[in-house]
Amino acid sequence: MNDQLKIDIRPVTPPDVPAIAALAREIWQATYPGIITQAQIDFMLEQRYGVERLYDDIEQPDKWLDQAFCAGRRVGFAFCEICQGEFKLDRLYIHPDMQRRGVGGQLVTHTAERARRLGYLALVLTVNKRNDKAIASYRKYGFAIREEVVADIGGGFVMDDYVMEKRL
Ligand SMILES: CC(C)(COP(=O)(O)OP(=O)(O)OC[C@H]1O[C@@H](n2cnc3c(N)ncnc32)[C@H](O)[C@@H]1OP(=O)(O)O)[C@@H](O)C(=O)NCCC(=O)NCCS
């Protein structure tokens, strides 16, 4: 990319939480119909983006919630965490009308730099096997599929994912 879009990456703070929850819902509704059922979308949004969960997440010492602004507008977020000894990019979501402009790439770079600073040699993530667009993006960022995993997330739902890894 020649002219990188100027974005500002800042930590999510408590007053940001309701806007992050709303942004997550908007992006999920634009992404997951056709990949998972509406019932699973609603269940997972409540499980992962309920405001109480987000308030709790930002207090954790081994989790980092970053949000990206472009010209003052909140356009996406990336959450990462230390999980079972690995550095995990847990959630990466860009508003539909700001996708494919390099925002996701800049958030991945930001996350990879944090992981490297903390001494990790790889960044890992999970992605739904049917989320072809995200998988294409992750390949572009240098991730490769490491394994497949089916996880029971409660409520009668499973996540059918690839684990992808980017060496740092
Ligand atoms: C996947 C996502 C995070 C990528 O972020 P982004 O800012 O849109 O992507 P970038 O601009 O950094 O693009 C990186 C590369 O990914 C690939 N890519 C991005 N969107 C793509 C799409 N819709 N179809 C195919 N390839 C795509 C391209 O190769 C792109 O490079 P190019 O535009 O130079 O060809 C973002 O599109 C998104 O939030 N999607 C919906 C939610 C989602 O699925 N999140 C991931 C959950 S695990």
pLDDT one digit per residue (tens) for the chain, 168 residues:
558 999 999 999 999 999 999 999 999 999 999 999 999 999 999 999 999 999 999 999 999 999 999 999 999 999 999 999 999 999 999 999 999 999 999 999 999 999 999 999 999 999 999 999 999 999 999 999 999 999 999 999 999 999 999 999
Calpha distance 79→130 (Å, rounded): 21
Ligand 1 centroid distance, CA of 86 (Å): 23
| Helices (H), ranges, the chain | 17-31, 38-49, 51-59, 103-117, 132-140
Candidate from 133, 141, 145, 161 with most ligand 1 atoms within 8 A of CB, to mutate = 133
Place of tokens 């739902």: 157
Is the whole-model pTM more than 0.85? yes
Residue 111: half-sphere exposure toward Cβ, Cα within 13 Å: 31
Residue 149: half-sphere exposure toward Cβ, Cα within 13 Å: 12
Q: Which residues have CB under 6 Å of ligand 1?
A: 27, 31, 92-94, 99-105, 127, 131, 133-134, 136-137, 140
CATH fold of 8-120 reads Aminopeptidase (3.40.630)
Closest-CA residue, ligand 1 atom 22, reads 133
Ligand 1 centroid distance, CA of 11 (Å): 22
Ligand 1 centroid distance, CA of 103 (Å): 9
Burial label, 102 (beta-carbon count in 10 A; 0-12, 13-18, 19+): middle
Calpha distance 25→3 (Å, rounded): 30
CA distances from 121 to 47, 124, 164, 167 (A): 30, 10, 14, 6
Ligand 1 centroid distance, CA of 100 (Å): 5
